[in-house]
Chain A
Amino acid sequence: MAVTLNASTSSGLVQTADTSGTIELQSNGTTKATVSSSGLAIGQYNPSTSLVTSGTAVASTSGTSIDFTSIPSWVKRITVMFDGVSLNGSANIFIQLGTSSGVVSTGYTSTSITLNSASGSAGASSTNAFLVFDGTASYVFEGSCVINLVSSNSYVSSHSYLINTTNIVIGSGSISLGGTLDRVRITTSNGTDTFDAGTINILYE
């Protein structure tokens, strides 16, 4: 038994009471959620809005870097998505995090490699960013980098991108920030190559 609050289509609100210490929320006689001594049980979670928020997609057809700013302090995961992204040179791509003090360009641990289905691999590491290995202007990046909050301003990342018909790039990294994350920068390792194709956006949650 349980206390019930029933939203009836014929009678409106119908209440019953007992001493079980449990309450059920009902829709026309069918229990949708129960609160008891063991917690909250929900029959079907059906939010009207997504729990994942999309940034604003930006055309990565110019510029040496793209910054996503004003990321809320409650965010625990950021996904950086590349759709057809390319550089005009052979620099590597940098993904950097930042706080209200600015973008952080030191203190990372990161490695990224390209895997070729026929002829092996090549790669690079960096302490200046989450590095995404590039190496040639002809690469076009399709995929995402996921950045997760581990604990108090410490983040880990992992990425995988398709770069042409036979190569992928994969990699991981970590960084401990000195404050709360509020921005993400996508830039290049030499600071001078420019984006010349594609779209970049982030999801945050």
Chain B
Amino acid sequence: MNRIEINVVTGEQKVIELTAEEIAQAQTQYAEWLANQPTKEEQIAKLQEQIDAIKGVA
């Protein structure tokens, strides 16, 4: 995996291979983010609340 780096002043473009540490850091950060996301069940419950409110059930 790599990233592309562009110097906006010189226009120089480099392709830099990611280090194992950079990859691990990104994956850890993503796992933390995923853990904080609502589950499908929670999302469905929220939508159901909205549907009920529209129907006047709630």
A residues within 8 Å of B by Cβ? 53, 55-56, 58, 62-72, 91, 105, 124, 126, 128, 185, 187, 189-192, 194, 202, 204
Contacts and interface: CB of A to CB of B under 8 A. Distances in A.
10 contacts: A56-B8, A56-B11, A58-B4, A64-B2, A64-B26, A67-B5, A68-B6, A70-B9, A91-B30, A191-B26
Nearest to B5: A67
Interface of B: 1-11, 13, 15, 18, 22-23, 25-27, 29-30, 33, 37
A66 B29 contact: no
Given A68-B8, A128-B29, 16 more contacts: A58-B13, A62-B2, A63-B1, A63-B15, A64-B3, A67-B3, A67-B4, A70-B7, A70-B8, A70-B10, A71-B8, A128-B33, A185-B3, A187-B3, A189-B33, A192-B23
Contact of A126 (B10, B13, B33): B33
A58 B1 contact: no
Interface SS, B side: mixed
A56 B13 contact: yes
